[in-house]
Amino acid sequence: MVFSSLVFLCIFLPVVFLGHLLLPGIRAKNAMLLLASLAFYAYGEPIYVFMMIGSAFMNYLWALGVSRFRKKRKLLLGMAVSMNLALLLVFKYTGFLAETLNSLTGTSVPVPQIRLPIGISFFTFQAMSYVIDVYRGVNPPQRNFGKVLLYISFFPQLIAGPIVKYHDVELEIGKRKQTAERVAKGIRRFIAGLSKKVLIANVMALAADTLFGAEAGSIGMAAAWVGALSYLFQIYFDFSGYSDMAIGLGWMFGFHFKENFRYPYGASSIREFWRRWHISLSSWFQEYLYIPLGGNRKGRARTCINKFLVFLCTGIWHGANVTFLFWGIYHGFFLMLEEFIPWLRKKGGRVKQACMHVYTLLVVCIGFVFFRADTIGQGFLWVKNMFIGVSAGSSSLSLCLQQLTPLYLVTFAAACTASFPVCGKWKKRRGYETLAYVCSLAGLALCMLNLAGGTYNPFIYFRF
């Protein structure tokens, strides 16, 4: 089940929200949320829901063991981390590794066809962070398995993040309040995210998927740029839209999740971009990999190596494909470049800031071409077409113009505007709150009409 579906919007969410509102006592509310979250996951993954429960139970036991057996805590932590990484390896990378081995050695090792469980990258990292934090003494182990399972399986952040640390929600699992103001703002935030997904990301996705799925010879310069920019906006509004919906749902149920996106396309360096993009993943790698590796405490060369390793792992985390691996290495390269070229780090006047902004968007856009491409060859060919301008004839121009419908052009303009905090200066003005709620109702109506009409509604997280 996904947030942008009529089943979720018209049945699941109203029933669960009213149940949480009406049930007396925190235990009853937690039990209902836990059952609802498991049903939410089982709706799309009837078998893998047991795997998720088993993963949560094993991490629950590891955390208890790390806390109790002090002399063997390092060994137990290593075993816990190894188990979680092995789970990712089996489900995400077994087929890829078998194919790579066959291509390199000429062998014919059978390639297993293992279907990827939805959200496995997210809930596995949450479970790992819980055990590691118990080991570090950040929070004590939770004795109640139900609370640990609720933390890992809670449906707002289960399938697409943000990655939540246990100590951030520990108190709210045991005690929280639903206030009318917080619920109203949560509903508004949810609708804002839903609108990003349905009204912007889905329109961009139709153009991006059409062009990236076309014959390689039919993509000229114009089509390559339309496809690249469409995916640039698709992935941002899809991903940030889901994060907004998760944060809004959290508010509705009395939880507070941290922000996951802060207008990353307004960044003026790749370093700044990663401080604004998928913040929960960036902070996870910083806290549990970059700092343990030494961070920036062992000289510039070691700092660069640590950053490179982090982004290599970031690429691997996203999936079993050379394109993801290249994307991680690509961002790691530009981070090292900014580390060694002082001019790229220093602030300047408006002209320099504008140049740095263009540089950042260009690097990010090209990186996402490889991220979206089905093969590394397609990625390089696509970038070549963007800049060299190989003519693909009238068929390429026709394919490109077919995407530039009035709806696409209006949506593209809206995406450009919504990528920056244009409403910030209006928030303190009288009447802003009323106008925001009116716009939310209009946005919800448009989303429901779109979904009822069966418009294109891809689920991008199947790749992760």
Binned at pLDDT 50, 70 and 90, residue 178 comes out as: confident
Could you give the angle at which helices 48-68 and 120-136 cross, rounded to 10 degrees?
10
Active-site position among 20, 278, 318, 331: 318
Alpha-carbon gap, residue 97 to 107, rounded angstroms: 12
pLDDT greater at residue 235 or residue 46: 235
Q: Is the pTM of this model over 0.85?
A: yes
Binned at pLDDT 50, 70 and 90, residue 267 comes out as: very high
Is 256 one of the catalytic residues? no
Say what the pLDDT of residue 392 is. 60
Length of the chain: 464
**Res 109 pLDDT > 90:** no
pLDDT tens per residue, range 153-177: 999 998 887 999 999 999 999 998 8
Say what the pLDDT of residue 422 is. 77
pLDDT tens per residue, range 186-225: 999 999 999 999 999 999 999 999 999 888 778 888 899 9
pLDDT greater at residue 254 or residue 394: 254
Supply angle C-alpha 207, 202, 317, rounded to 5: 95
Say what the pLDDT of residue 135 is. 94
Output the average pLDDT for the chain: 89
Alpha-carbon gap, residue 416 to 97, rounded angstroms: 39
In 3D space, the residue among 207, 266, 211, 200 whose CA is nearest the CA of residue 239 turns out to be 200
Contact assessment for residue 16 and residue 30, using Cβ atoms and an 8 Å cutoff: no
Say what the pLDDT of residue 448 is. 92
